[in-house]
Amino acid sequence: MAEQAAKDPFAPPPKTGIDRRTFVRRTVGSAAVGAVGAGAFSLGVPLSTTLGLKIKRFPYLGAARIKGPAPKGIPMIPIQVDEDGFLNGKTSVEGIGNILEWYGYCSHDAAPGLKESFTQDNKLYYFQNPEKIHHAEDAGIKIWYKDLLDKPLHIDHFTEPGMGAPFKWRSHGQLDNNIITGIAIRVNPSEVKGKTSLLDEFVDRDIIAFCSFCSHFCCVPGFKETKQAIVENVNEMIFCTCHGSVYDPKLIQEYQFPPNG
Ligand code: FES
């Protein structure tokens, strides 16, 4: 395997044009966009219209964006609790398609785990940036899964609604952008609102999960892990500190991805 730079996979991208350019390149193809300057688009602008290109789009279910600059919701990952109680991600859902395709954006398109053949292990493993844990604890926030890092998520760990944790999935031995990540949350099903018959395919034993790439500039949002979320009264939400986008994990909507078609 080629040597990979040891950098923090959770680090937010620069807030200048490079990551937007990267996202755009992944979305419509590098040749077509080579001459397009950074900052030329908002991700909410129809690129296919602007460039006269036909881009591939696919449906997804997502937590609704309720605040901030993100153009669309953050995608759900379908969950299945196995017979031993471990939380697994499902790689496909009838009526939706290949879930792994959602991860082919935000510069993660080369992650080996996106290939079905990479692994049969679809368990989710606790995964968090130590610096984020440090900041959370400094702010008086208890990170309940701190001693479980790198262990598989188990249904018995989520003892009550409102508990959530970040995870990695299909990423054994991977670094940086080859790691695919998400957030799992136990919910009270009666509180989940969503106009979709597909929701049952995504929820198991009251656990729901989301991809953790912000639909704005691909930063990694969190759940109940920052003082800022408490101060802004969005601690029950998925919150991206980069530019303040807020997603409601209990308000599910159907979208098309990429958001710029
Ligand atoms: S990357 Fe800008 S709000 Fe998330």
The single residue listed with the structure tokens 């710029």 is 260
The one-character DSSP state at 86 is B
Query: For residue 194, what pLDDT is reported?
Result: 82
The one-character DSSP state at 100 is G
Q: Is the CB of 242 under 6 A from ligand 1?
A: yes
Task: Quote the longest CA-to-CA distance of the chain.
Answer: 52
pTM above 0.75, yes or no: yes
Torsions phi, psi of 137, nearest 5? -65, -35
Task: Output the CA 44–ligand 1 centroid distance in Å.
Answer: 13
Tell me how far apart the alpha carbons of residues 112 and 49 are, in angstroms, rounded to a whole number: 32
Q: Is the CB of 68 under 6 A from ligand 1?
A: yes
Task: Output the CA 245–ligand 1 centroid distance in Å.
Answer: 6
Q: Is the CB of 211 under 6 A from ligand 1?
A: no
Angle at 13 between CA 45 and CA 24, to 5 degrees: 30
Residue nearest to atom 2 of ligand 1 (CA): 243
Position in ligand 1 atom list of the atom nearest CA 70: 3
Angle at 105 between CA 250 and CA 93, to 5 degrees: 55
Tell me how far apart the alpha carbons of residues 189 and 58 are, in angstroms, rounded to a whole number: 26
CB atoms within 10 A of CB 227: 15
Could you tell which of 242, 246, 247 is best to mutate to test the pocket of ligand 1, judged by most ligand atoms within 8 Å of the CB? Answer: 242
Query: For residue 50, what pLDDT is reported?
Result: 41
Q: Is the CB of 181 under 6 A from ligand 1?
A: no
Tell me how far apart the alpha carbons of residues 183 and 85 are, in angstroms, rounded to a whole number: 18
**Per-residue tens of pLDDT for the chain, all 261 residues:** 333 433 443 444 444 333 444 443 343 332 222 222 222 233 333 333 444 455 667 788 999 999 999 999 999 999 999 999 999 999 999 878 888 888 888 889 999 999 999 999 999 999 999 999 999 999 999 999 999 999 999 999 999 999 999 999 999 999 999 999 999 999 998 899 986 778 888 999 999 999 999 989 999 999 999 999 999 999 999 999 999 999 999 999 988 876 554
